[in-house]
Amino acid sequence: VVKQTKQSVLEEARQRANDFGLTEEEVVLSRTIAENPDDQSIQTAALILRMRDGMSMLPRILKTIESFKGQVAHVETRSSKNEGQYDVLVKINITRQNLASLIRNLRQGTSLGGITLLADNTKAVTVKDPWFPRHASDLDNCNHLMTKYEPDLDMSHPGFADKEYRARRKLIAEIAFAYKYGDPIPHIPYTETENETWKRVFNTLVDLVPKHACKEYQRVFNKLIEEKIFEPHCVPQLEQVSLFLKKNTGFTLRPAAGLLTARDFLSSLAFRIFQSTQYIRHINSPYHTPEPDAIHELLGHMPLLADPSFAQFSQEIGLASLGASDEEIEKLSTIYWFTVEFGLCKEGTETRAYGAGLLSAYGELLHALSDKCEHRPFEPSVTAVQPYQDQDYQPIYYVANSFEDAKEKFRRWVATMSRPFEVRFNPHTQSVEVLDSL
Ligand code: HBI
Ligand code: FE
């Protein structure tokens, strides 16, 4: 990607807008949006996207807009100068805040392969968008989904051909969409099939934990079994687990409908809130899931979120993400990936797993601790720029000396970030205070 100056981006956006016949007024309107950052009123915005692979991506684009609560007012497509590619102009009625998130999502491009955002008439909105959640209740606005692996869109998804499974997923997603801060997490009566899927994964892990999981994980894992929150025959309820976490570290859960944008996902950690999916992977592929599901959250993440030192580390990643630039969010996600998801740590002369992606999947757990991959010492500035993929086992893992050591290194690295202010979490009010450090 060629980096352009802000000026030339704006110029190009205007040029492309002209091509599609947007008025000067519409460009001015977007300026107004930028100048009133807390405005919740609905505005009209125009985006121009290029579909590199024919028209097939159009439904995904529309679905993404819908997931950001945008209402499509106008769609126009035309073939681009390049063969087989189409440009699409969409006009959307949307709040400023949702628009900024939508554009970020489209720019990240991770959720919508084959699509490029060519121009929007709202550059000013996103270039210096300072909005981030200030109170835990603001997370009600931070649940923007990525449409990466959804059973009804992705043909390679194990649930694609299973109508019943898709209906179940839809039902559970709706519970997450309706959830508001302060609500208890709705109880899901898991089906026999779902409980069976849980049981299979749980039983494979019970045998591996004593040998391969770090000691902090083991301590809480055993406690969860003692307190009968983790039982082999039924999927634990998020509400019960949330109460358990609250008692131990002050972390709580809120239901998430699926994969959130990295910015939204990380921001909730700042409030010691973990966005957890509540659906269960398809029974046909119990030991692997391309997306997070409740089994991954429960077996992978929950034990360590109840560990004080790890909880602190997680929250600090979240705090660092508030108001960060897109590039910094990318780096923080990568650090999150190689620590919270796939991290290894030293324990005496041994190396053990603490990453949730490892502790919820025995295949990769054994791979990560075998000699078929590379172990490197965790070093935030290096780890932050390590490319990774989520389709296959990782070829490289990063090893921390301890959570305390990882936290120390992380803190030193965060201090090098460009943010012109500092944030502090006030647990009494569950809000983030912004301290100007200029
Ligand atoms: N969303 N629900 C959910 N769960 C995740 O683990 C998750 C996410 N969105 C983004 C994301 N993880 C990654 O980008 C992390 O590296 C931040
Ligand atoms: Fe995860």
Q: Quick: pLDDT tens for 335-373.
A: 999 999 999 999 999 999 999 999 998 899 999 999 999
Distance CA 284, CA 193 (A): 10
Tell me the ligand closest to 259's alpha carbon: 1
- Predicted TM-score (pTM) of the model is 0.75
- Residues forming beta bridges with residue 436, ordered by sequence position: 421
Which ligand 1 atom lies nearest to the CA of residue 336? 16
Tell me the ligand closest to 305's alpha carbon: 2
Q: Which residues contact 257 (CB under 8 A, 6 or more apart)?
A: 143, 145, 172, 173, 174, 176, 177, 277
Residue with the smallest CA separation from ligand 1 atom 14 is 262
Cα 36 to Cα 29, 65, 427: the distances in Å are 11, 22, 29
**Are 269 and 136 spatial neighbours (Cβ–Cβ below 8 Å)?**
no
Distance CA 258, CA 291 (A): 8
The tokens for 326 are 């897109």
Residue of 264, 265, 281, 390 to mutate, ligand 1, most atoms within 8 A of C-beta? 265
State if residue 259 touches ligand 1 by the CB under 6 angstroms criterion.
Answer: yes
- Which amino acid does the sequence have at 166? R
Q: Quick: pLDDT tens for 122-148.
A: 654 433 446 799 999 999 988 777 766
ipTM: 0.98
The number of CA neighbours under 13 Å toward the Cβ of 401 is: 9
- Reply yes or no on whether the pLDDT at 417 is more than 70: yes
**Are 393 and 373 spatial neighbours (Cβ–Cβ below 8 Å)?**
yes
State if residue 255 touches ligand 1 by the CB under 6 angstroms criterion.
Answer: no
Distance CA 61, CA 161 (A): 22
Residue with the smallest CA separation from ligand 1 atom 6 is 292
Long-range contacts at 426-433 (CB < 8 A, ≥ 24 apart): 427/250, 427/272, 429/135, 430/135, 430/136, 430/271, 431/134, 431/135, 431/136, 432/132, 432/133, 432/134, 432/135, 432/270, 432/271, 432/319, 432/322
| Distance from residue 259's CA to the centre of ligand 1 (Å) | 6
